[in-house]
Amino acid sequence: MTLLPLHETINRWIDEAYIPQQPQAMIKTLSRMACSNLTALASMADSFPVGDGLVYAGYEEVECPIISAFVTYRKEYPLHRTGALKFKFAPAQDDGSGFEALVIAAWVSDEDIGVQMIVMACMPRAYASHWLTFEQECHRIASSAITYRDKVYIVGGAEDTFDATVDWNDVYLPADLKAGIMQDVDAFFEKGVAIYQRLKINPFRKLLLAGVPGTGKTMLCSALAKWAQAKGRFVIYVSGANQFGAKFWKIHQALDMAAESDSPTIVIVEELDAYLDEESKAQLLNVLDGSETPMNPRGTIMIATTNHPEIIDNRVMKRPGRLDRIFIIPELEDEQSAEDMLRAYLGDDWCDQHRTIIPRLLNKPAAFIREVALSALTVAAYQDLDGLPLEVLVTSLESLEKQIEAKDDFLTAHKRTPIGLIGQGRRNGNRS
């Protein structure tokens, strides 16, 4: 007995067991994996139009003796189902006839291509273009990651998604700055997109949040993500955490997904300067200019952060339109913001005595206040103290101040001395 390749076995089964039962002339095609993606199918719009008054009317699982049916998962989301599915398309106005399409999906393993899914579809020849319209919509939904819009979708990270948990009220910034950032983002989606479209400009806005490390830029981005999701907007986070690191193509992939999502989208890029090697700077200019930016008719905002704006090319920083707005995120400058933040971190352990350290928290980044609070609370818990005595909080503050001073002195003393077992050239693969 000769064993046929799996795709030939599927092809023969369709010819012998399925097509003879159909009253119309049939055609077979290789189809996209998205047509077997159960999460994408669940996100397909009800009565999606495929042409000539016909709409998608659902699908059902059918028996296929040559392929076992099983489903792969991505975390809690069902992905691709092997076996056979029958898709139904019906007249939108209940007049006339529709059609059905059979899809068979299977995983194959090949020493040259590795593990790959093949998907074969069979439909009436007269409705091939209708099927292709439906197939393209399946692909759009799957490739845009719109099926994961209840979470922040990650491009290029070690994980696929994360939950945005920071509330807007938990962001501590000068009131006018905080209001300005929110107004810029909200006004773009609510009114600005229509203005961009009227002027025949790609509705793509770019904001940069610049500030020293620890000023709360990450928290601000997370709060904007949670707020945007509550408004039904799609949020994509670009990460350099996987094996490829911070590469510009990840930003472009995120913008492609935003365009495919067909919904208002925020793309977050932390530490933008890390993505800008010499090769990528020209690409970035084209993307920021809009010449190579995928079009999202519902509008896309890219919110980028940087600790080192001086690294970013002046062609980006100083040319209007490439970055629409630059917001400087300062260290805490007013006592009320510093007190509000300390109160939030200390919670029920706050007492009025703690207010005496507030002046010493000014002109410090938000991360400094958080560490003072967390260190003090940890010591108090370790010593089984009743509440948080002022002296423990002061000790935590002074310890962190000394640590920062010692670090600054060390870095100043070794500013021109290479640190490490090998020089930078060796780390980059050069022996010179």
DSSP state of 307: S
The residue whose two tokens read 């009800």 is 46
The distance between the two most distant Cα atoms of the chain, rounded to a whole number of Å, is 88
114-124 vs 99-110, strand pairing mode: antiparallel
Q: What is d(CA 157, CA 240) in angstroms, rounded to the nearest whole number?
A: 6
The pLDDT tens digits for 312-364 are 656 555 555 578 899 999 988 889 889 999 999 999 999 999 999 999 999 88
Residue 387 vs residues 4, 346, 384: alpha-carbon distances, Å: 74, 10, 9
The pLDDT tens digits for 282-306 are 677 677 766 667 789 999 999 999 9
- The model's pTM is 0.75
Task: Write out the residue limits of the CATH 1.10.8 domain(s) in the chain.
Answer: 335-412
Buried b (16+ CB within 10 A) or exposed e, 151-171: bbbbbbbeeebeebebeeebb
77-81 vs 71-74, strand pairing mode: antiparallel
The pLDDT tens digits for 118-168 are 999 999 999 999 999 999 999 999 988 878 888 899 998 888 889 999 999
Fold of 335-412: Helicase, Ruva Protein; domain 3 (1.10.8)
Q: What integer pLDDT is reported at residue 145 of this predicted model? A: 83
- Homologous superfamily in CATH for domain 152-328: P-loop containing nucleotide triphosphate hydrolases (3.40.50.300)
Task: Write out the residue limits of the CATH 3.40.50.300 domain(s) in the chain.
Answer: 152-328
Low-confidence ranges of the chain (pLDDT < 50): 1-2, 419-432
Is residue 375 within 8 A of residue 399, CB to CB? The reply is yes
The three-point CA angle 167-171-174 to 5° equals 145
